[in-house]
Amino acid sequence: MYRYGRHPHFVTEPVGRPMTIRDLLTHMSGLSYHIMERSPLDEAYRQVGVGGPAGTLRDMIEQLAGLPLEFSPGARWGYSAATDVLGYLVEVLSGQRFDDYLRTQIFEPLGMVDTHFTVPADKLSRLSTCYTRLPGSTEATVMDDPSDSQFARPRTFLSGGGGLVSTAADYLRFCEMLRRGGELDGARLLGPRTVAYMTRNHLPDGRDLASLAMPGAFSETRYDGVGFGLGFYVVTDPVRAHVPTSPGEYGWGGLASTAFWVVPAEDLVVIFLTQLVPSTTFDFRGQLKAIIHSAIID
């Protein structure tokens, strides 16, 4: 576990216990992420090239194995490359490439016809431009142009945390499967009790992110009144979270300010797709939640 120093001269100490799959699913693994800019460990992820586009999931695992953890597994919460590691575990346990597993076990059964790691040539005309806003500027700058998009080229790094391109229609089918307890149009991917278990707060002692997150940790959700399940944030206290929703809302957001959430108590699915990086540029999600939840009258 990291104490101090810079790569490759880290000073470390033993972790309290081994990492588990549950730690990966809850982002309590102790891993970090190359997008973070908090510590020398985050810098090391970039220097080593963890999750680089020219590598593979196996390459990423070997890179991570040479770096210390940020904290002992289960001790804190920190958004990380854990979801990418889970993608590699899918490959190991299934014996399939990650993209093949997703296609045969999720996309095809759910009728998700427009979800890919690489956009097919005959669909490129439908790929949206992605924008960013540079510091000190009010103008939007093109970050990913469909005519020369990273998503138009074959890739070897099949990211479990952010590599897919999809549509609102496809993502709605995925979210509807979750809302309906793991089944859609006769295709059952999960049992209803599994979905219910995944979308409960799994943080120790029922705590929220505010009490467990690493200082300066990045997240696509608020911390107060929000816990974490097996892959989703989970609202535990709407008042503390400052969201007029029902307890049990779960979901997540994406780098380009996208978001989805499911509210089982309201039979509600919300999907918001836009194209602005980073997701902290504007409070799209907070405004959208206020508009949608205040419009529900029965």
- pLDDT (tens digit, 9 = 90+) per residue, 217-266? 788 898 999 999 999 999 999 999 999 999 999 999 999 999 999 999 99
Q: Which of 86, 108, 133 is the last residue of a domain?
A: 86
Of the chain, the percentage scoring pLDDT greater than 90 comes to: 86
Q: How many domains does the chain have?
A: 2
Question: Which two three-digit tokens encode residue 193?
Answer: 């009790």
Asked whether 80 and 29 are in contact (CB, 8 A), the reply is yes
Of the chain, the percentage scoring pLDDT greater than 70 comes to: 100
Q: Is residue 230 part of a domain?
A: yes
Q: Is residue 275 part of a domain?
A: yes
User: For 71-106, how does the pLDDT look when each residue is reduced to its tens digit (9 = 90+)?
Assistant: 999 999 999 999 999 999 999 999 999 999 999 999
Q: Is residue 247 part of a domain?
A: yes
**What is the model's pLDDT at position 216?**
80
The model's pTM is 0.95
Is the pLDDT at 192 greater than 90? The verdict is yes
Q: Which amino acid is at 154?
A: P
Q: Which amino acid is at 180?
A: R
Q: Which of 86, 116, 133 is the last residue of a domain?
A: 86
Q: Is residue 78 part of a domain?
A: yes
End-to-end CA distance of the chain: 51
**What is the model's pLDDT at position 136?**
80
Q: Is residue 129 part of a domain?
A: no
CA–CA separation, 234 and 22 (whole Å): 16
Q: Is residue 15 part of a domain?
A: yes
Domain boundaries, position 283: 199-298
DSSP assignment of 109-120, as one string?
HHT-TT-BSS--
Mean pLDDT (the chain) is 95
Q: Is residue 148 part of a domain?
A: no
CA–CA separation, 274 and 272 (whole Å): 7
Asked whether 7 and 45 are in contact (CB, 8 A), the reply is no
Q: Which of 35, 65, 86 is the last residue of a domain?
A: 86
CA–CA separation, 278 and 215 (whole Å): 20
Query: What phi, psi does 211 have (nearest 5°)?
Result: -95, -10
Is the pLDDT at 30 greater than 90? The verdict is yes
3-state secondary structure of 59: helix
**What is the model's pLDDT at position 87?**
97
Q: Is residue 44 part of a domain?
A: yes
Strand partners, 247: none
Q: How far is CA 99 from CA 60, 118, 126, 217, in A?
A: 16, 10, 21, 29
User: For 104-158, how does the pLDDT look when each residue is reduced to its tens digit (9 = 90+)?
Assistant: 999 999 999 999 999 999 999 999 999 998 888 888 999 999 999 999 999 999 9
Question: What is the radius of gyration, based on Cα positions, of the chain?
Answer: 19
- Sequence-ordered strand ranges (E) for the chain: 2-6, 9-12, 130-133, 140-144, 183-184, 187-188, 226-228, 233-235, 250-253, 259-263, 268-272, 276-277
| Residue for token pair 């929703």 | 245
